[in-house]
Amino acid sequence: MAKFFNGIISEPMISYNDDQSIDFDTTAQIFSNLAHRGASGLFVNGFGDETYSLSLTERLDIVKCAQKAVEGTDCLVVAVVFATCLRDALWLIREYKKLDVKAMCISLPPFYQMTPHAAYQYLSAQLKETEVLTIVFNCREMDQFASPELLGRLAHEFPNCQGYKDATRDIIHLNKCLDELDDLKEDFSIISGSDATLFTHMAMGASASVSFMSVPFLDQMKDIYDYFKAGEYEKAWQAQRIVLKLRTFMQQFPDSSAYIYAMKYTAKINVKGTRHPDDMLYIPEEELRKFDRMVEEFGILDR
């Protein structure tokens, strides 16, 4: 079996109405734009900062919105199971199965540390609940990691455990994971979980990237991936450098504010709001003009 997860899997944000209800029309445009521009997948309900502000039933509605938006394309909807307890994680998995999702992603819960055996119980219970191909996700911001040994155990015990999304930015950790997965490497997908490390991850055998940067800058993330796959490593590295410069600038500002603003450059979609206070969307006008000049300098507006 070949690797199931490939290419740039975009991690889309959600648009909101003035009353902070979900703006499904604009959200569907975001999903459709990515699917029709060449994203290999949508990592839906995977942006942790935002997902934990959604109810469990709202997450189902967003998955249904994504499934409809990608119709007629090869874009895969990956339904993400972020939950604060095992009960909610298993409920989400069962409901996702009813929606006939083709792939899921699971992770350990945030906020508290689990013992090694509890971590195994938490993740293995989710894998037992579904036969759908599943990614295990180590999220750096949630500060709770499945160890290389646990990842290897899950991948060997559960045939549907077919991918690892590594957002640790820790090459030593990733090397240890690769050692645990060595006999499965022909089928198992290593997935880059940080836009800053796609080039490095691909050099270590990654077949895909889950990318928030790709929501406004899909072509730039695809450049890294496509050049590397073509063996044009210098071009891939130069493409990574552009992404790093954009990312460094954008991460000066709160939450996803710069990513929302950047949607005007390529997607031409007016994404509205978050469920955070308004100041989390504020970027000074002079900084917006710097952003405009940077995007123009990199030739992004000409593509």
**Cβ-count burial 176-209 (b if 16+ within 10 Å, e if not):** bbbebbeeeeeebbbbbbbbbbbbbbbeeebbbb
- pLDDT for the residue numbered 142: 67
CA 23, 301, 192, 69 torsion-angle sign: positive
Q: How far is CA 219 from the centre of its chain?
A: 16
The answer to whether the CB of 198 falls within 8 A of the CB of 239 is: no
- pLDDT for the residue numbered 47: 82
Round to whole Å and give the CA distance between 259 and 24: 19
- pLDDT for the residue numbered 117: 96
- pLDDT for the residue numbered 173: 95
| Tens of each residue's pLDDT in the chain, 303 residues | 579 999 999 999 999 999 999 999 999 999 999 999 999 999 999 987 788 899 999 999 999 999 999 999 999 999 999 999 999 999 999 999 999 999 999 999 988 889 999 999 999 999 999 999 999 999 776 667 899 999 999 999 999 999 999 999 999 999 999 999 999 989 999 999 999 999 999 999 999 999 999 999 999 999 999 999 999 999 999 999 999 999 999 999 998 999 999 999 999 999 987 888 989 999 999 999 999 999 999 999 876
Helix (H, G, I), strand (E, B) or coil at 22: strand
User: Which tokens hold the place of 265?
Assistant: 């450059």
- pLDDT for the residue numbered 2: 77
Cα–Cα nearest to 47, from 11, 22, 21, 77: 11
Beta bridge mates, 9: 41, 210
The answer to whether the CB of 150 falls within 8 A of the CB of 123 is: yes
Q: pTM value? A: 0.96
Round to whole Å and give the CA distance between 72 and 105: 23
